[in-house]
Amino acid sequence: MLRARCPTTAMDHFFAAVERRFPDHAQAVRLVQSATELIIKLLDTSYPYLEALARKMIELLTIMRERDLTELGYLFCGLSICLYGGSFTALIAAVEAVRLTSWERILNSAKVLYQNYCEGMRVVALENESEQKDRTVPNVRDWNGEVLLSRKIGVFLSSVDPLKVKDEFKALLLGFTAVATTLRSRSVNVITIGCSLSQVVSRFFALDALLKDALSSNQQQLAEPLAQSFFCILCIFIVVIARQWAMTLHSAMYGARLAVESALELWRRKGNMSHDCAINAELPQTQTLVIVLASVGVFWQFSNGFSLPFPLNILLLPLRVLDFIVDAIFCDTPNGFFYAGGI
């Protein structure tokens, strides 16, 4: 027998409709509704703190940019990735999956969706300005810094045009699918890490130039595709036989490159290099520094067992938590969310 109730919110209306449609599963529908309400309550409670943290991070980045300390931040990030990137295997695989498949589309889609949200907030604010003071609908201008996340989502869903932003939602879904597929499928994971590693390794070996010299004039346009294919096959093979080594090498080389380029830029800004001297990452001296630092990073990570010393274990705690969440949700383990759900 259906439960007698008076739906007051859109979610109540939705679950009431589901309960009427499937009366035999009314108990399960109520359980799902209770769990959904609990999750929304937790999100509403934590959202103001997360928003405040994001604002503080933006303020910190703004101060660093104003004081010309951005390169110092890049240097710290590069050294952290080089020396400790292998500790975040799930996070690295997820980031590389998105970067290789849909990073640009996701950025553009996020901008479009945010513009739609801002437009919706503006329209709702103008409408509320014209209402009477005794209205019962909350006014946007009365919202403080602790605006409920569910209320913001409601404004966004009521203002967005699904037909106009369907491509943007498809891009976000593509990124989610890429992450889920990469972390759940070992073969896809190997291909993703191998292709990403090949992009890093190919910068240090001018195989395409060697092939151009070896090929005839009408075949030289094949030099770059052949070089890329060779590095992809080689790196995929390396990932197959030594996945942990490959991911450690990838993080070490990427972090070393970022750290060296940032250090050279800081050196130039200090006046020790001519302002006309460009920081060329392809110079042999630069590549040598990157290779040496990457080698140190690889052996450092394996010698320390991929552990984070103090105070990096505090500074990089958000990344550790994010890596744990990604691993718990997507990875094909008995503790994974999708594994438990039989997906």
Which own/partner pairs from 283-290 qualify as long-range (CB within 8 Å, at least 24 positions apart)? 286/260, 286/261, 287/203, 287/204, 289/256, 289/260, 290/204, 290/253, 290/256, 290/257, 290/260
Which pLDDT belongs to residue 144? 45
Please state, for a pLDDT cut of 90, what percent of the chain lies above it: 0
User: Which pLDDT tens digit goes with each residue over 170-193?
Assistant: 777 777 777 777 777 777 778 877
Provide the angle, in degrees to the nearest 10, between the axes of the packed helices 26-66 and 70-84: 130
Which pLDDT belongs to residue 146? 45
Please give the structure tokens belonging to residue 88.
């975040």
| Residue 17: partners with Cβ closer than 8 Å, 6 or more residues away | none
Which residue bears the tokens 């404004």?
Answer: 155
Which pLDDT belongs to residue 136? 52
Neighbours of 325 (CB within 10 A): 13
Residue 21 scores a pLDDT above 70: yes
Which pLDDT belongs to residue 82? 83
Give CA–CA dist 308/197, Å, rounded.
23
Mean pLDDT for the chain?
A: 73
Q: How confident is the model at residue 4 (pLDDT cuts 50, 70, 90)?
A: very low
Q: How confident is the model at residue 53 (pLDDT cuts 50, 70, 90)?
A: confident
Please tell me the least confidently modeled range out of 49-63, 133-147, 167-181, 324-338.
133-147
User: Which pLDDT tens digit goes with each residue over 102-146?
Assistant: 777 777 877 777 777 777 667 666 656 655 444 554 544 444 444
| Residue 223: partners with Cβ closer than 8 Å, 6 or more residues away | 208, 209, 211, 212, 215
Locate the domains of the chain by residue range.
68-326
Residues 116 and 108 sit within 8 Å (Cβ to Cβ) = no
Residue 200 scores a pLDDT above 60: yes
| Residue 158: partners with Cβ closer than 8 Å, 6 or more residues away | 120, 124
| Residue 217: partners with Cβ closer than 8 Å, 6 or more residues away | none
| Residue 214: partners with Cβ closer than 8 Å, 6 or more residues away | none
Residue 340 scores a pLDDT above 60: no
Average pLDDT rounded to a whole number, residues 22-37: 81
Q: How confident is the model at residue 9 (pLDDT cuts 50, 70, 90)?
A: low
